[in-house]
Amino acid sequence: MALSSLSTLKNGTRKNQSTLVAALLVALCASTAMAQADNPDGPYVGAGWGRFNLNIKNLSDAGSAASSIAHSNDNAWKLFTGYRFNPYVALEAAYIDLGRPSDRFSATGSNGNYRVNISGFSPAVIGSLPLGPVELFAKIGEYYYDSKVRLTFDSPGTSIESSHRRNDLLYGGGVGVTFFEHLHVRAEYETIEIRNAKNSDALWLSAAWRF
């Protein structure tokens, strides 16, 4: 009889624990949904730090018929602002500085070093899929940028510089998490179809404050 009572007590305890866990999960989901509903739209501002990979094809902008060019990378940063019309659609404008990637090249007659400086402005449309405090998102836009190329030849040690103003397609996606209803942190991958360097890309870690 004692064993039967003990077994019944244990089973009841397990049921109570299961009920408590289920109730906590429901409460957590409800609070998450409420937090999401508290800030479904509005303006935001943010900044990002990342790594830009320059997938360079040729250096014709600077007048060099290079036969071999090493791909390069550098640190990058951006400042951005945007407006969320609802939890699913936003417009964003960003100033993006892709750093100064540089490396070696081989050309007819002489080898040397190259350096590229790329920076500019990008408007983009962002589509998001909210999953509680976590969001999956994709973006597409245009990158209006200034490109400056500098070549320094090993022999005779001369330099060539060239600059251009262009615009090319930018697209990407990633995942974001919102803390305290306002602080949105996201990890992002972008592809930038830079002329003479198609499929160059960047990895970003950004933070934005949603008002």
118 lies in the same domain as 56? yes
192 lies in the same domain as 124? yes
Choose between 77 and 28: higher pLDDT: 77
Query: What CATH number is given to the structural domain containing 88?
Result: 2.40.160.20
* Helix and strand counts by DSSP (H, E) for the chain: 1, 10
Q: Using pLDDT thresholds of 50, 70 and 90, give the confidence band for residue 52.
A: very high
Highest mean pLDDT among 6-10, 91-95, 177-181: 91-95
Over residues 93-117, mean pLDDT: 89
Please compute, for residue 27, the number of CA atoms within 13 A of its CA located in the half-sphere on the CB side.
6
Over residues 173-191, mean pLDDT: 95
159 lies in the same domain as 63? yes
Q: Using pLDDT thresholds of 50, 70 and 90, give the confidence band for residue 95.
A: very high
Q: What's the pTM?
A: 0.77
**pLDDT value at residue 30:** 42
For the chain, the domain total comes to 2
Host domain of residue 25: 1-38
Q: Using pLDDT thresholds of 50, 70 and 90, give the confidence band for residue 31.
A: very low
Over residues 54-60, mean pLDDT: 81
Average pLDDT, the chain: 83
Q: Angle CA(82)–CA(40)–CA(140) in degrees, nearest 5?
A: 40
144 lies in the same domain as 66? yes
Contact 125, 91 (CB under 8 A): yes
What are residue 37's phi and psi, to 5 degrees? -70, -25
**pLDDT value at residue 66:** 64
Looking at the predicted structure, is the pLDDT value of residue 106 above 60? yes
26 lies in the same domain as 89? no
103 lies in the same domain as 181? yes
Reading phi first (left if > 0) and then psi (alpha if -120 to 50, else beta), residue 99 is in left
Over residues 145-151, mean pLDDT: 91
25 lies in the same domain as 59? no
Looking at the predicted structure, is the pLDDT value of residue 60 above 60? yes
Tell me: the pLDDT tens digits for 67-90?
Answer: 678 789 999 999 999 999 999 999
**pLDDT value at residue 1:** 44
